[in-house]
Amino acid sequence: MARLAHPAGEQGIAQGISSFGALQIISNNASMTPEQIVEGSLPGQIFGWQLYVQNDRKKSEAMLARINRMTDKFKFICLTLDAPVGGKREDDERYTDVGASLPIPSSVKSDGPQRPGGGGVGQQLFWGTAADLTWKDTLTWLAKHTSLPIVLKGLQTHEDAYLAAQHAPQVKAIILSNHGGRALDTAPPAVHTLLEIRKYCPEVFSRLEVWVDGGIKRGTDVVKALCLGAKAVGVGRAALFGLGAGGAEGVQRTFEILKGETETCMRLLGAGKISELGSQHINSRAVERDIYDGSARLDKLGLWEKARL
């Protein structure tokens, strides 16, 4: 709902990041249509469509068909897993009147039971979102409706990362995310899950790409994630802050700052290129004491693969 920050909306974000080679993942809950957002984007600029699967699967299938017709811009489907229901967003609930008057995207409108009043923007947008996704059925359903690669967003355990790797090459990447910390209170940050994967199933990194979303506020945060094996990081709030402050130019300035901080950090580490970054550049011991420390709970002898759970 980027137009809550600035009239330029998601298209303003697309314009602001265009000169940085950054890709944009557009939410199913965007305040503009996908056609409007990609209009005027640069040749080769990459977008992904973030799908919130609806209880009425026909609505999601219609949206997938729409995205399938724009594969010159949309290169993957990002399946949202970290928000099957709306979380308890107390700050959001204080602005119930805003949520009640907010226009809901047609892609998430439901002809079924009446959408409840109150609860803020989040509760309004999550109404109609399916909470019954499974490894067995959902990826098979997606394969019937799109040939685009799948990126799974919202993994918060090493077990799920390991399972996701069994579904390569349909699943090309996973995004470690706790939905910005707004879905489940005290859920682990993405960097904890990243460290879990390194500890219990590092082979995941060779099967698919691991992206990190959440807590990326400075260039040093970008470098830390890359040092720990992430291939990309997601920036949400920072882009919206830039958009709210100055539209597309504000987004551009935000990314200029992030790019400059990242380059400065790498120079001071003596790393000339991203491929040179590694665990030798970071001390994660203070964080490792807070990550899961039980049994790996992984059957690496083939049971999960055979069951295709």
The residues assigned a catalytic role are: 179
134: region left, alpha or beta (phi > 0 left; psi from -120 to 50 alpha): beta
CB atoms within 10 A of CB 270: 8
Q: With contact defined as beta carbons under 8 Å apart, do 2 and 12 qualify?
A: yes
Residue numbers belonging to the annotated binding site for glyoxylate: 52, 89, 179, 182
Cross-strand bridge partners of residue 173: 151, 209
In DSSP notation, 3-39 reads GGT-TTHHHHHHHHHGGGT--EEEETT-SS-HHHHHT
Residue numbers belonging to the annotated binding site for FMN: 27, 50, 80, 153, 177, 236-237
Residue numbers belonging to the annotated binding site: 27, 50, 52, 80, 89, 153, 177, 179, 182, 236-237
- Which tokens go with 12? 């303003």
User: Cα separation of 1 and 46, whole Å?
Assistant: 20
Q: With contact defined as beta carbons under 8 Å apart, do 51 and 83 qualify?
A: no
Cis peptide upstream of residue 84 (ω within 30 degrees of 0): no
User: Cα separation of 2 and 19, whole Å?
Assistant: 20
User: Cα separation of 71 and 141, whole Å?
Assistant: 19
Indicate the residue type of 54: Q
